[in-house]
Structure 1
Amino acid sequence: MPAFNSTPAPDLTPWGKADTATERLPGVFQVTTPSHGGFILYDERQAAMPDALRLDAPAYEEDVNWSLAVIAFAEELAAAGDHLTKIEIDLAHQTARNWMPDRYAAFTGKPVEPRDSYILRAILAYEALIGEIVVVSAFGDWADWVPAGKTGVIGRKLASVNHLGHPTYEGPEHRALVEATRYKASASPNSFAAISAEIMP
């Protein structure tokens, strides 16, 4: 492992002015701002990121991307001696498997199974419904067009789903009604056929 130099704490981040900036490792800062936070990597650290884990910009936000930085430098972080670091590293692996399975598999050399990844399960669920009318929004009977005891749904034809589990729709919107209890018991994504939705004229 090459030696890295300590660097000044960042004052500005992609999420605004830093409230706190903790140097977790030389050249690796964990920052917070009033709105968000994450890890900021200085140039040498960004260059040292494994190809599979490196983002284009050296900012790894705190919701998901932080896990890439922690996995990349897990050995150094563990050696730093913080008793909570093992929990952090385990959570980083879980987060990356769930939300970035392609990157995680490329880094580890092991395929990620759908049972271990929310994204992969979402992709499979949407792929099974391509070509069908799928619910894109739902309304309770508080809406003026939805009778009591029903759920109003709006659906469109599912065209495709990308590697992030984001669906693409095509064609016109369709309004339909379904029994509220039936809709509540269903799992997303929902096709009109699966929930016996009655299309409105």
Structure 2
Amino acid sequence: MPAFASTPAPVHTLWDTPDMATQRLPGVWWVKTPSHGGFVLSDERQAAMPEALRLDSIYYEEDVNWALVVLAFETELEQLKDPYFDIERGIAHQTARHWRPDRYGRFTGQVITPSDSYVLTKVAAIEASIGEIGVRSASGDWADWVPTGKVGVVGRRIIGCDHLGFTQYDGPDFTGLCDAARYDRKRPVNTFAALGVELLA
């Protein structure tokens, strides 16, 4: 494994000025700012990221993309003998598999299916709903236009989604009402047909 040079702590980041910066490995900084945080890589470390895991930027935010850095330099991090690393490693694999399934599959050689990944589950549900009216926003009966026991929904035709499972829509808005008991915001996609929505003029 090549030797990497230590680098000065980042003074500015994509997110803000760091409140805290810890060099986990030479050239691999973990930073926290008032707004966000994550890993910041040196140019040398960025070049060493495996192609399947490398982003265009040296910034790997703390919600999801941090996991790509842990996977890339897993062996080095393990050698630090941090007693909590086994937990971090497990979370990193789970995070990447669920939220970056294409990258994770290419890096590990595993075939990732929808049952392995939240994103792929969502993509499959959205692709099965192409052409239907999908809910874009919902209001409870606290809204002045929604009767008691109903949910007011606004939607458009689903035309597809991106690789992260964000739904793409087109066409005019449709507005309607459904029974509150049928609406579940945790579903990957809510369609007017599945909810039995009554369209409003």
Kindly indicate whether the alpha-carbon contact (under 8 Å) linking 1:130 and 1:157 is maintained by their aligned counterparts in 2. yes
Letter in 1 for 2:77: L
Structure 1 residue 184 displacement after superposition: 4.5
Distance 1:188 1:122, change over 3 A: closer
Distance 1:4 1:188, change over 3 A: closer
Letter in 2 for 1:199: L
The equivalent residue for 1:144 is 144
Matched, 1:104 2:135: no
Deviations 1:122-161 (A, max 9, x none): 0001011100111111111121211112111111111111
Matched, 1:116 2:116: yes
Structure 1 Cα separation of the partners of residues 187 and 21 of structure 2? 41
Structure 1 residue 114 displacement after superposition: 1.1
The equivalent residue for 1:39 is 39
Q: Where does the alignment leave 5 or more consecutive residues of structure 2 unmatched?
A: none
The equivalent residue for 2:66 is 66
Kindly indicate whether the alpha-carbon contact (under 8 Å) linking 1:135 and 1:190 is maintained by their aligned counterparts in 2. yes
Structure 1 residue 174 displacement after superposition: 0.8
The equivalent residue for 1:28 is 28
**TM-score, scaled to structure 1:** 0.96
**TM-score, scaled to structure 2:** 0.96
Structure 1 residue 182 displacement after superposition: 2.0
The equivalent residue for 1:94 is 94
Letter in 1 for 2:109: G
Structure 1 residue 195 displacement after superposition: 1.2
Kindly indicate whether the alpha-carbon contact (under 8 Å) linking 1:68 and 1:96 is maintained by their aligned counterparts in 2. yes
The equivalent residue for 1:9 is 9
Distance 1:197 1:186, change over 3 A: farther
The equivalent residue for 1:157 is 157
Q: Percent identity, aligned pairs only?
A: 57
Structure 1 Cα separation of the partners of residues 168 and 182 of structure 2? 25
Matched, 1:126 2:126: yes
Structure 1 Cα separation of the partners of residues 30 and 184 of structure 2? 41
Q: Where does the alignment leave 5 or more consecutive residues of structure 1 unmatched?
A: none
Structure 1 residue 187 displacement after superposition: 3.2
Kindly indicate whether the alpha-carbon contact (under 8 Å) linking 2:98 and 2:119 is maintained by their aligned counterparts in 1. yes
Q: Which runs of 4+ in 1 moved over 4 A?
A: none
Structure 2 Cα separation of the partners of residues 198 and 57 of structure 1? 46
Distance 1:102 1:16, change over 3 A: same
Deviations 1:23-78 (A, max 9, x none): 11111111111111111110111111000001111111111110000100000000
Structure 1 Cα separation of the partners of residues 7 and 66 of structure 2? 19
The equivalent residue for 1:76 is 76
Matched, 1:52 2:52: yes
